[in-house]
Amino acid sequence: MIIQRVVLNSRPGKNGVPVAENFRLEQSTIADAVQAGQVRVKTLYLSVDPYMRCRMNEDTGSDYLQPWQLSEVADGGGIGVVEESQHHNLAKGDFVTSFTWPWQTAAILDGDSLQKLVPQLVNGRLSYFLGAAGITGLTALLGIREKGHVAAGANQTMVVSGAAGACGSLAGQIGRLEGCSRVVGIAGTDEKCSILVQEMGFDAAINYKKGDVAKQLRELCPGGVDVYFDNVGGDISDTVISQMNQNSHIILCGQISQYNKDVPYPPPLPPDIEKIQKERNITRERFLVLNYMDKQEASVLQLCQWIQEGKLKVRETVVEGLANIGAAFQSMMNGGNIGKQIISISK
């Protein structure tokens, strides 16, 4: 069977900025026969995420992420429909997902590696299982619950950097649902800031490319910052940390501003900021959602309930066609999208 697939064409280098040409679309084939325990799936949606930048290097810098190999098919979160099954628990027509879905139009996969999906849980919006009701939503919810120490009625202020991105746009809303009294987002355009406030219920949003971020933070968070959901690192995070309260908490989710630099993860703080962190007893612990998979089922159900009730607003940037996945990746790394970046291959 002839398929299309996307392989890693070249590496940007540890300090390089990814470009669309780092990926290559090519034609390939898969076997016609499905063996016992396997299924043949048609790919419907693929997820493009910032962490994948690390997988473009020969060494990801992480013990839980494997690097993509040159001229080999890339992979990540994906959703598809079963077209033929030799697996006891999967039937033709079932929708399934995996964290290691190959970037190709169809594939033969081990049925045990797949999770069956229930479209009704997300009002039929299957792509949500890659975002708000998937690993992205889990990262936001469990990050806040496990590292944010949010308590209803405690009058806490949360700041979210990268707030218009896939995880940040959910984290601010979940912070509110979990009990924060004030939520402020930091994003890179006026349009993004407007969406955060008008659509997603943030109290305020700062365009970090305009004006004095530290001054705006002082005005918008007069009582200081109690919880910081950190997606970006770098200067923005240093500015937020300098205004955090005693015994406050950083949820160390991502450091996208540092992903094109050859630095350890999490990147060390500048000495003056590290001094503030220690003096104010600010927690800053690495958060990895995969360490909390025992809470996955209950957490996904909570996310789906909020989606069904309209309490969790979802934004997606959908790009049609496997051929455009490289350009979509480049755009995401440049901060060009709002919400989750999804590649649709269903049409």
Give pLDDT tens digits for 6-57.
999 999 987 888 999 999 999 999 999 999 999 999 999 999 998 898 899 9
In a domain, 157, yes or no: yes
The per-residue pLDDT for range 117-176, each reduced to its tens digit, is: 999 999 999 999 999 999 999 999 999 999 999 999 999 999 999 999 999 999 999 999
Do residue 285 and residue 319 come from a single domain? Answer: no
Assign 86 a pLDDT band (cuts: 50, 70, 90). Answer: very high
Domains contained in the chain, number: 2
The CATH number of the domain holding residue 205 is 3.40.50.720
**Predicted confidence (pLDDT) at residue 76 exceeds the cutoff of 60:** yes
The per-residue pLDDT for range 212-266, each reduced to its tens digit, is: 999 999 999 999 999 999 998 889 999 999 999 999 999 998 766 554 445 556 7
Q: β-pairing, 182-187 with 204-207? A: parallel
Cα–Cα separations (whole angstroms), residue 244 to 155, 276, 282, 284:
14, 9, 8, 12
**Strand locations in the chain (E):** 2-8, 23-29, 38-48, 75-85, 95-102, 106-110, 115-116, 157-161, 182-187, 204-207, 225-230, 244-252, 283-286, 316-320, 340-344
Do residue 146 and residue 281 come from a single domain? Answer: yes
In a domain, 300, yes or no: no
Over residues 74-102, the mean pLDDT reads 97
Do residue 63 and residue 180 come from a single domain? Answer: no
Per-residue model confidence (pLDDT) at position 211: 87
Q: Which residues pair with 319 in a beta bridge?
A: 343
Do residue 111 and residue 24 come from a single domain? Answer: yes
In a domain, 179, yes or no: yes
In a domain, 304, yes or no: no
**Which of 5, 78, 248, 258 lies closest to 147, judged by CA?**
248
Do residue 54 and residue 187 come from a single domain? Answer: no
**Alpha carbons 340 and 347: distance in angstroms, whole number:** 19
Per-residue model confidence (pLDDT) at position 51: 85
**Which of 247, 273, 290 is at the close of a domain?**
290
In a domain, 310, yes or no: no
Domain that holds residue 111: 2-131+315-344
Per-residue model confidence (pLDDT) at position 75: 97
Do residue 238 and residue 178 come from a single domain? Answer: yes
**Alpha carbons 187 and 191: distance in angstroms, whole number:** 9
Do residue 277 and residue 145 come from a single domain? Answer: yes
Q: β-pairing, 225-230 with 244-252? A: parallel
Per-residue model confidence (pLDDT) at position 334: 81
Do residue 64 and residue 156 come from a single domain? Answer: no
Q: Which residues pair with 186 in a beta bridge?
A: 161, 206
**Alpha carbons 182 and 179: distance in angstroms, whole number:** 9
Cβ–Cβ contacts within 10 Å for residue 62, how many? 13
Query: Which tokens sit at 214?
Result: 């530290």
**Alpha carbons 347 and 55: distance in angstroms, whole number:** 28
Per-residue model confidence (pLDDT) at position 262: 53
Complete DSSP assignment for 97-109:
EEEEEESBSEEEE
**Which of 304, 230, 239, 224 lies closest to 270, judged by CA?**
239
Over residues 300-304, the mean pLDDT reads 96
Do residue 151 and residue 117 come from a single domain? Answer: no
Strand, helix or coil for residue 336: coil
Query: Which tokens sit at 201?
Result: 């219920």
> Which residue is listed with tokens 């619950």?
145
In a domain, 78, yes or no: yes
Per-residue model confidence (pLDDT) at position 332: 86
The CATH number of the domain holding residue 38 is 3.90.180.10
Per-residue model confidence (pLDDT) at position 264: 56
Complete DSSP assignment for 247-312:
EEEEEE---GGGTTS---SSPPPPHHHHHHHHHTT-EEEE--GGGGGGGHHHHHHHHHHHHHTT-S
Q: Which helix (H) or strand (E) holds 235?
A: helix 234-241
In a domain, 305, yes or no: no
Assign 289 a pLDDT band (cuts: 50, 70, 90). Answer: confident
Per-residue model confidence (pLDDT) at position 260: 46
Do residue 204 and residue 221 come from a single domain? Answer: yes
Do residue 179 and residue 319 come from a single domain? Answer: no
Do residue 152 and residue 168 come from a single domain? Answer: yes
**Predicted confidence (pLDDT) at residue 91 exceeds the cutoff of 80:** yes
% the chain with pLDDT above 70: 96
Per-residue model confidence (pLDDT) at position 256: 63
